[in-house]
Amino acid sequence: MKTILSALIGAIAATAVGGAALAQDKVRAAVGQRGNWDTLFIPQGVEAGIFKREGIEVEITWTRGGAETLQAVITDSADLAMANGILGVIGAISKGAPLKIVSAQMTGAADMFWYVKADSPVKSMKDMEGRTMGYSRPGSSTNLVALALSDHFRVKPKLVSTGGIPDTRTQVMSGQIEAGWSVPHFNFDLVSEGKIRIIARGTDVPSLNDQTVRVNVAGSKFLTGRRDVARRFMKGYHDSIEWVYANPEKAVAFYAAFNKVTPAIAKQTYESFPKAAVAPWPVKGLKQNLAEALEHKQLEKAMPEADAQKVLFDFVYQAQ
């Protein structure tokens, strides 16, 4: 009798444990710019079992960048939108989009760089006076950094909206514009083949290091309805970043395999992203961002910083 009872209890316990392990909470994350170093943290974390440990099953949808990612959350096709230009987010929230910023995604512009064709007479930003310089879309982080670079080097290039990285590359290589924008690992192949030269980087403007340019956003419904899941997800995100920078060789290898690039390019990419730049908290430079949002018409009227803190942020999980 005792053995049967204990067997029964054992069976029930096993089912309970097994059941709990199977009952992972599903989180849908929309992520822009597939495969960039700073957007691969979640896949890296999934691979390392970090999200599983938090009881989270992540379903990633890759989009083509900021505004598209936001739309996924706004239309309830995703719970979180990762890597969105902060100006766009401020604009959307101010117009009633049901979103909240849950963390910073990229502070400063260490990843951005501008390049020219190898045979171009331009050697650095100082030679860009009056020449055409590309950025993605008006009000984007690339727009801001292009302006910041121009101010810093005291030149007046002709700024042109060139769209995404492949569109920009076409325009540079065909001679339609002089300098185009990019982030690692894109166009590194052209650099190593000697077909293009890098003439400017985001790190050339030190003041940018105090400004968060991209943020992670969550749907209000998700934050109120499944708050504990949201908290565990953000913990997983934070821990994934910690893991990546604690295990650089593994992370670099994962990146190389994911993007089908050489380990050398992968390592170069890793070196472009200092850990401080991708720290999820704090979100820096809010005052500056609000001013720029107003200037670029994302905000219809000025939003005081105190109000902004309440309206924009909901740090459901914040390490330290």
Partner 1 sequence: MSRRLATTLAGLAGVAAVAVALEATIRAGWISPLIIAPPSSFARAFAKLWAEGFVVQPFLLTIGQAFAATAAAALVGIPWGFWLWRRPELGRAYEPWIGAAFAAPTILLFPLFLVIFGRGYATTIFVGFLAAVIPVVLKTREAFLGVPRVLLAVGRSFHLSEAALVRRIAFPAAVPAIFTGLRLGLIYALVNIIGMEFLIDFGGLGRIVSEMYFRYEIPAMYAAILLIVAVSWLFLAALARLETWLRPR
Partner 2 sequence: MAETTLTPLSRGVAAGRGVSTLRIRALTLVAILAAWELLARSGLLYEDVVPPLEKVAVAFVHLLLSAETYRHLGVTAWEVLTGFAIGFAAGVAFGVPVGAQRFFGAAVQPYVDGFATAPKIIFLPIVMLAFGTGIGSKVALAALSAFFPVAINTAAGVRQIDPVFVRVGRSFRLTPLQMMFRIYLPAMRRSLVTSMRLGFGLAVIGCLLAEIKFSNAGLGHLAIEHYNNFRVPDLYAVLILVFVLAVGANTLMARMMPRH
- Residue numbers of the site for partner 2 (CB under 8 A)? 30, 61-64, 68, 71-72, 74-78, 164-166, 169-170, 173-174
Q: Is 65 left (phi over 0), alpha (psi -120 to 50) or beta?
A: left
How long a stretch of residues is the chain?
A: 320
Work out how close the CB of 166 gets to partner 2 at its nearest, in angstroms, rounded to a whole number: 5
Is the CB of residue 218 less than 8 Å from the CB of residue 316? yes
Work out how close the CB of 193 gets to partner 2 at its nearest, in angstroms, rounded to a whole number: 11
Q: Whole-angstrom Cα distance, residue 5 to residue 11?
A: 10
Residue 219-258 contact track with partner 1, rule CB under 8 A, x = bound:
----------------------------------------
> Which among partner 1, partner 2, none contacts residue 219 (Cβ within 5 to 8 A by kind)?
none
Binding positions for partner 1, 282-301, rule CB under 8 A: 297-298
Q: Which is nearer to partner 1, 68 or 242 (CB)?
A: 68
Site membership for partner 1, residue 24 (CB under 8 A): no
Q: Which is nearer to partner 1, 134 or 285 (CB)?
A: 134
Judged by CB under 8 A, which stretch of 2-10, 42-50, 63-71, 223-231 contacts partner 1?
63-71
Query: What is the CA 301 to chain-centroid distance, rounded?
Result: 27
- What residues have CB less than 8 Å from 83, skipping those under 6 apart? 31, 32, 33, 36, 38, 39, 66, 69, 105, 106, 214, 216
Site membership for partner 1, residue 71 (CB under 8 A): yes
Pairing assessment for the beta strands 56-63 and 80-85 based on DSSP bridges: unpaired
Site membership for partner 1, residue 74 (CB under 8 A): yes
User: For tokens 């992520």, what's the residue?
Assistant: 31
Q: Which is nearer to partner 2, 170 or 262 (CB)?
A: 170
CA 99, 63, 271, 211 torsion: positive or negative?
Answer: negative
| CA angle in degrees (0–180, nearest 5) for 71-74-78 | 85
Q: How many CA atoms lie within 13 A of 257 on its CB side?
A: 9
Binding positions for partner 1, 137-196, rule CB under 8 A: 137, 139, 162-163, 166-167, 170-171, 174, 176
Q: Which is nearer to partner 2, 165 or 293 (CB)?
A: 165
Binding site for partner 1 (CB under 8 A): 67-68, 70-71, 74, 88, 91-92, 95-98, 137, 139, 162-163, 166-167, 170-171, 174, 176, 297-298
